[in-house]
């Protein structure tokens, strides 16, 4: 009975002491959570204003929020008298285990973040990426979707893209069309050049600056090779290239110049 009486007598003191710790821990958690959210929102706004992709900005903001909140929770638990050293060790071990188990997924994730930050291509660009030629339909955190000209939907892990060569046909405002023409070796060079120039001038989508060029690239007894170079706006590349090939073939056949 004496022990029970002593415990009852100390109960208000214990409640006040523990209650004070709970109150302080609660304050730490509430204030820390508010600070974490505020910093997260500020970072999101700064990154978005810096023209960073909204997906990446949102992810980085949430990541910072989560990291700060984890420290806040550990600090609050520590205020209750719990030894936090073991909690930190368990948390670190768990994070390492999850990271090793999800190594491939995390690699794709980090590659996706890099693609969204450095933007080697954007949605709508025509590219060769991961061995696939087509138009970019979607750039996700883990994978990128490309639609080839035959209408297939190809989903490529971002990890593969980050370790492969990427060719972006849409990155620059203009592209150069390059066509090689062979004519018989005994053909009148000036006559061929004039004909090729007429065909080039008939294409209104060919840019004047830089000017189109007709250059002899090879010559022997059997054939003369001309290189035709013309710049067009990138969206017009396919259309003008196909049109030039057809017009050149018809014109050369008409004059009997085709080798």
Q: Is 228 exposed, middle or buried (0-12, 13-18, 19+ CB in 10 A)?
A: buried
- For residues 139 and 251, give the distance between their C-alpha atoms in angstroms, rounded to a whole number: 44
Distance of CA 223 to the CA centre of its chain: 46
| Joined tokens for residue 27 | 């304050």
Question: Is 180:217 a contact under the CB 8 Å cutoff?
Answer: yes
- Mean of all residue pLDDT scores within the chain: 81
- pLDDT score for 63: 73
Instruction: Classify domain 120-168 by CATH number.
Output: 2.30.30.60
Q: What is the reported pTM?
A: 0.62
Q: Is 121 exposed, middle or buried (0-12, 13-18, 19+ CB in 10 A)?
A: buried
The CATH architecture to which 2-101 belongs is Orthogonal Bundle (1.10)
- pLDDT score for 101: 46
Distances (CA, A) of 258 to 48, 74, 187, 245, 255: 57, 81, 10, 13, 8
Residues 6 or more apart in contact with residue 191 via CB below 8 angstroms: 255, 257
| Joined tokens for residue 10 | 């100390």
Domain 174-255: CATH class, spelled out: alpha beta
Residue pLDDT tens, the chain, 259 long? 455 555 545 545 555 555 667 777 788 888 888 888 888 888 878 877 766 666 667 667 777 877 788 888 877 777 766 666 666 666 666 565 555 544 556 677 777 778 877 888 888 899 999 899 999 998 887 889 999 989 999 999 988 888 889 999 999 999 999 999 999 888 889 999 999 999 999 999 999 999 999 999 998 878 899 999 999 999 999 999 999 999 999 999 888 876 5
Question: Is 40:61 a contact under the CB 8 Å cutoff?
Answer: yes
**Hey, which residues does 174 pair with through a beta bridge?**
233
- For residues 241 and 123, give the distance between their C-alpha atoms in angstroms, rounded to a whole number: 24
Taking only the tens place, the pLDDT of each residue in 10-47 is 545 555 555 667 777 788 888 888 888 888 888 878 87
Question: Is 76:29 a contact under the CB 8 Å cutoff?
Answer: yes
Question: Is 229:207 a contact under the CB 8 Å cutoff?
Answer: no
Provide DSSP, 73-115.
HHHHHHHTT--HHHHHHHHHHHHHHHHHHTHHHHHHHHHHHHH
* H or E, element range at 54: helix 54-79
Q: How many CA atoms lie within 13 A of 51 on its CB side?
A: 2
Fold agreement between 2-101 and 120-168: no
Angle between helices 54-79 and 84-101 (to 10 degrees): 150
- pLDDT score for 77: 76
Domain chopping of the chain, boundaries: 2-101, 120-168, 174-255
Output 248-251 pairs: Cβ under 8 A, ≥24 positions apart: 248/179, 248/181, 248/196, 248/199, 251/195, 251/198, 251/199
Torsion of CA 21, 27, 33, 34, to 10 degrees: -170
């Amino acid at each position: 009975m004496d022990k029970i009486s002593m415990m009852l007598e100390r109960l208000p003191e214990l409640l006040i002491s523990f209650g004070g710790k709970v109150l302080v821990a609660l304050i730490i958690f509430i204030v820390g959570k508010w600070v974490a959210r505020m910093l997260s929102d500020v970072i999101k706004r700064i990154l978005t204003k810096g023209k960073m992709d909204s997906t990446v900005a949102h992810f980085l903001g949430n990541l910072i929020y989560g990291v700060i909140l984890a420290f806040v929770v550990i600090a609050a638990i520590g205020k209750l008298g719990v030894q936090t050293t073991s909690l930190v060790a368990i948390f670190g071990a768990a994070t390492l285990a999850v990271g090793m188990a999800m190594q491939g997924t995390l690699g794709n994730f980090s590659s996706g973040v890099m693609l969204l930050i450095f933007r080697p291509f954007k949605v709508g660009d025509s590219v060769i990426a991961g061995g696939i030629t087509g138009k970019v339909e979607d750039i996700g955190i883990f994978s990128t979707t490309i639609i080839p000209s035959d209408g297939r939907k190809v989903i490529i892990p971002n990890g593969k893209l980050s370790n492969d060569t990427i060719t972006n046909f849409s990155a620059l405002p203009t592209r150069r069309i390059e066509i090689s023409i062979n004519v018989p070796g005994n053909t009148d060079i000036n006559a061929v050049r004039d004909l090729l120039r007429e065909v080039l001038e008939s294409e209104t989508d060919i840019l004047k600056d830089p000017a189109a060029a007709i250059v002899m690239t090879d010559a022997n007894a059997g054939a003369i090779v001309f290189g035709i170079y013309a710049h067009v706006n990138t969206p017009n590349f396919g259309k003008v290239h196909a049109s030039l090939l057809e017009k050149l073939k018809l014109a050369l056949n008409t004059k009997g110049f085709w080798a």
